[in-house]
Amino acid sequence: MKRDQAHPAETEQPTAPDEVTSRTVGQLAKQSAGPRPTVRRPWSARRIPAALTALLIGAAAGTLLFDIIRVHAGRTAAAWRTRLADELATRPLDDTWMQISAVVIGLLGLWLIVMALTPGLRDQLPLRTPDAQTHAVLDGDAAALLLRDAAMHVPGVSAARIQISRNRVGARADVRFRAPADVKADLLVALREELARLALARPPRLAVRVRPRRK
């Protein structure tokens, strides 16, 4: 009798990285042709300002509560609280120190409000994604380095400096040879192509300046 040989079960092959990349690029290409989803900037956790504010308020409240408990226990109030109460009761509102203190407290409160209402992370640039549920960012220094490398590949450029923000890319290049106008035109093309490859959600405005290198 011949023994039946079982065929090996077909196993699922893992998706190759190139296939995943090409699929993502295809989705981005389809997305660029149609309406783009709204991309929001990531919000900073603000751990350091929140921790400092909590420590200051906690220390002030704890010190005041401790002194109030001492007074209710039959002891005299602390000298700093007695002096503070006297100063607030007798010092006029047009006093210089009162005005300076009010300005400092107002600026501190305004700073906390701005920190609470703004996302922060200004060095993080949002990227285009295939859908609204996916969020990706690119570090501003890394983007500036990529743009600088692209600028250095332009014939005639001997040095390049890139400053990038959320709304503007400033490029300055030194020209060793060739006409500065031709180098500037090629530099604009190279930087625009590199910005397109970065797939930023909000492409910044590009400003390019060139100057002949002095010997």
pLDDT digits over 141-199, tens only?
888 888 898 888 889 888 889 888 878 888 899 888 888 888 888 888 988 888 888 87
Distances (CA, A) of 42 to 16, 88, 106: 30, 44, 28
Residue written as tokens 């092959």? Answer: 13
DSSP state of 122: T
Whole-structure pTM over 0.75, yes or no?
no
